[in-house]
Chain A
Amino acid sequence: MIGKASPPAANPLRRTLRAIRDLASRLPQRHQSLTVIVGMAFVTAILPLVVLAPPLNGFGRQNDWLDGFANAGVFVLLAMGLNVVVGLAGLLDLGYAAFFAIGAYTYAYGASPFSGLDVPFWPMLLVGAAVAMVFGLLLGAPTLRLRGDYLAIVTLGFGEIVPVVFLNADTYTRGTNGISGVYQPVLPIVGNFGFGNPMPYYLTMAAIIAVAMILLYRLQDSRLGRAWMAIREDELAAASMGINTVTTKLLAFAIGASTSGLGGVFYASKLSVVSPDQFGFVISFTVLAMVVLGGMGNIWGVAVGAFVIYELQSQGLKQLNSFFGGLGLPPFHLGPLTVDLTSINFLEYQFLLYGLALVGMMLLRPEGLFPSRRRRAELRDEADAGAANEELVQA
């Protein structure tokens, strides 16, 4: 109701942004899949060219960028999956990395010298997603009846347990050493995905994201999607409207988990090693920050948010490092622990920035950078809604 009528914007920039947002949201739902395909194809085609232009070409070669983009894609996938749980269904999952780990280990079992198996990558994508989904159901079935904040803590506990199990069940997981030498994907015609050549990974990731995005959009607009949002906004009301809240929440959980598993399979195949220490709370937290900052409930917003945040943390902060590093001043001139400007690592402040962004976002713009309209309406409390209405009236 707030979004439909465009209030006169204070400045042209805001007006343009609003116009773009409206345009994007008005794309006919019938053609949504097509829009995603065209959009992803466009982005996929243009990104490798963009990084050739200054100043980006100064920060790294095209291959470095594509390698980073493929890594970022993993987080885009994770964020889109968590968005189903947090953004659409309104359940706080703080152990999301556990499903990522399960997906990654599933692939490592299916295709590594450790198990002796060599199942091709493509079916393993589905297997990884399915296994993660099963674990999502196993965890969700007993716990989703709990109140929302209890669920947060249960998932947090689960996220802590899973790496401990991978670490200590060393007969089955090779413990702390992890499983190394995990096979890389093979395409029927193109052949092996090499380490030095990130392009196949980049394209594969783009395709996976496109497919996941289409499926998620379709889910969101389905009966199930509407049920998720109904639960998010008022669980009691949703239940009294005849929605089976437990099953509906369970499905959100399972779909989120399977998307995470998908990301895990890709991650394992690209890094070629899985070990328990790669899947800690930091991953869960980073993905949550991406979802919140991107705009809970908005699929493409979350995807863009994840991509931007990943690139900022892996490239942006690094550029600050090399900027100050470039100023010269050899370190260690004042004793081994005196840190001079050269050795300040801005990457270290990544989590401080996340923390500030989360708090600031919740206080000032809880709907995220790219809000979903319905979510925005919900997250703004009455006072804000009133103010917005006043704005409308004055117009």
Chain B
Amino acid sequence: MRLLKLGAVATTAALVFTACSSSPTPAPSGGGGGGGGSVQEVKIGVDLPLSGGELPNGGPTLNGVKLAVQQISVPGYHVTVEAEDDAVNGVHDPTQGSKNISTLVNDPAVFAVVGPFNSNVAQAEIPVSNAAGLIQCSPANTNPGLTKGADGAALRKTNPTKIAYVRVATTDDIQGQAGADIAYNVVGAKTAYVVDDTETYGKGLADVFDSSFKALGGTIVAHDGAGKNVTDYTSLLTAAAAKNPQYVYFGGVTSTGGGLLRKQMVAQGMGNIPFGGGDGISDGSAATASSFLNLAGPQGDLNTYSTVAAIHDIPNPDAFKAAYKAAFSTDPGSYSASAYACTQIFLDALKAVGSNREAVRAFVTTTAHKYDTVLGSISFDANGDTSQHIISYYKFDPTTKDWAFFKQKDFGTAG
């Protein structure tokens, strides 16, 4: 029941905002649907890292999909979730991702796929789903090269005009700008030190931060790379401290060193320098084992900022949170709502055009279509990127020992 209320609220909100848009989505028919007649079994495939240290990322995201499937029913269809794990030995793995997407492609009941979570997995998956014409919606991929420019074109070479990959997360070129916006405008720093983890996501994000911060008028005192094998940041920080940065930005995720870096900054007497990162460090409160805040330690988490490449003020956050909590007994993760939105879009398509893969793909990627999702109104551009360019800003709150949302900014059509 809660689900229906949520859906209705979201729809109403969206209709108010986009009153004159030609929404192809029929208003949700009241009631539980699927009364009589034959019910077709269809599946939404999911590919996420679901084991090891990345379970805290993939698990809540998968739950978002499950919640949507539980809540939204499509008459004539029985939708189940088929989840594949792309983590091998605790780390997301492109080869495993490629194999998973092939498995999902080969399952005729799968009409759409939510995932993946990581950009390098997406690189291996997009060519496969593109060739098969199976629509994929990533809740979390933020690397610009997956969709934009020559890189994006290279990935969808088989069917260049038939986009089969869309994403509801805003790309790193915008998230990096947001990081620079926090550093320069919110904190007021004029100089910054940048460290990246040498991986696809981390380095991409750090590079954009680097250029955006300079564009705003700031100075980057140094930009170092330290891979996940690096555990001792002492000498890096000693060198950086000598250059007196007013801000430190980390491009990477917690498991590649975010928490350690912040912790060792405190040890170096740099604990009062504001610290920022992207959604890779926005992974739960200090009570969550192995989260950024947990590893950064009792003093290391002060004055710390992070961004999430998604809207925070979703049209009805309390309803979503309550529904999620009722189903899974925990608060939603950073990308639970995004995964829910992906699933909503797929279910909209299923309702409108049935379970034929090509029909669903064509429906979802039609740029004129707008979807009323839990994230608000979303449409996709010609590359499959979301029209919603909103970044949420978070700051560590020492009383709750958790990230506190303080602002969200719409970067419009920039980038």
Once the chains are docked, how many angstroms separate the CA of A160 from the CA of B377?
47
Residues of A within 8 A of B60 (CB): 332, 336
The answer to whether A336 and B59 touch (CB under 8 A), given A67-B102, A195-B158, A282-B89, is yes
Interface flag for B4 (CB, 8 Å): no
Q: Which of A122-130, A136-144, A341-349, A383-391 contacts B (4 or more CB under 8 A)?
A: A341-349
Main secondary structure of the interface of B (DSSP, over half): helix
Interface flag for A181 (CB, 8 Å): yes
Residue from B55, B89, B127, B151 in contact with A351 in the complex, judged by beta carbons closer than 8 Å: B89
The answer to whether A195 and B154 touch (CB under 8 A), given A277-B199, A278-B95, A336-B288, is no
A90 to chain B, nearest CB (A): 29
Residues of A within 8 A of B50 (CB): 343, 345
Interface flag for A71 (CB, 8 Å): yes
Interface size class of A (residues with CB under 8 A): 35 or more
Residues of B within 8 A of A194 (CB): 131, 158
Do the beta carbons of A178 and B59 come within 8 Å of each other?
no
Once the chains are docked, how many angstroms separate the CA of A177 from the CA of B198?
10
Do the beta carbons of A275 and B102 come within 8 Å of each other?
no
Interface flag for B150 (CB, 8 Å): yes
Residues of B within 8 A of A348 (CB): 51-52, 89-90
- Chain A 102-114: CB-based contact to B (< 8 A → 1; otherwise 0): 0000000000111
Residue from A63, A178, A332, A347 in contact with B120 in the complex, judged by beta carbons closer than 8 Å: A178
Residues of B within 8 A of A272 (CB): 124, 127
Do the beta carbons of B94 and A63 come within 8 Å of each other?
no
Once the chains are docked, how many angstroms separate the CA of A177 from the CA of B121?
11
Interface flag for B88 (CB, 8 Å): yes
Once the chains are docked, how many angstroms separate the CA of A131 from the CA of B124?
25
- Chain B 311-336: CB-based contact to A (< 8 A → 1; otherwise 0): 00000000000000000111000000
Do the beta carbons of A275 and B330 come within 8 Å of each other?
no
Do the beta carbons of A332 and B330 come within 8 Å of each other?
yes
Residues of A within 8 A of B284 (CB): 336
- Chain A 58-80: CB-based contact to B (< 8 A → 1; otherwise 0): 00110110011001000000000
Interface flag for A290 (CB, 8 Å): no
Residues of B within 8 A of A343 (CB): 50-51, 55, 59
Docked complex: B148-191 residues within 8 A CB-CB of A: 150-151, 153-155, 157-158
Once the chains are docked, how many angstroms separate the CA of A178 from the CA of B95?
14
Residues of B within 8 A of A51 (CB): none
Residues of B within 8 A of A351 (CB): 89
A310 to chain B, nearest CB (A): 11
Once the chains are docked, how many angstroms separate the CA of A188 from the CA of B124?
26
**Chain B residue, CB-CB nearest to A67:** B102
Residues of A within 8 A of B55 (CB): 339, 343
The answer to whether A277 and B127 touch (CB under 8 A), given A67-B99, A195-B102, A337-B288, is no
Once the chains are docked, how many angstroms separate the CA of A336 from the CA of B333?
10
B119 to chain A, nearest CB (A): 8
**New contact pairs (13) apart from A113-B154, A196-B105, A351-B89, CB-CB < 8 Å:** A176-B198, A180-B154, A180-B155, A195-B127, A195-B131, A196-B131, A275-B123, A277-B199, A330-B328, A332-B328, A336-B59, A336-B330, A345-B50
- Chain B residues within 8 Å of A, Cβ to Cβ: 50-52, 55-56, 59-60, 63, 85, 87-90, 94-95, 98-99, 102-103, 105-107, 120, 123-124, 127-128, 130-132, 143, 145, 150-151, 153-155, 157-158, 198-200, 203-204, 225, 227, 284, 288-290, 328-330
6 smallest beta-carbon distances between A and B, as pairs: A181-B154, A345-B51, A195-B131, A195-B128, A113-B154, A63-B106
Q: List 8 A-B contacts (CB under 8 A).
A: A67-B102, A71-B99, A113-B153, A167-B227, A181-B153, A195-B105, A273-B127, A343-B51
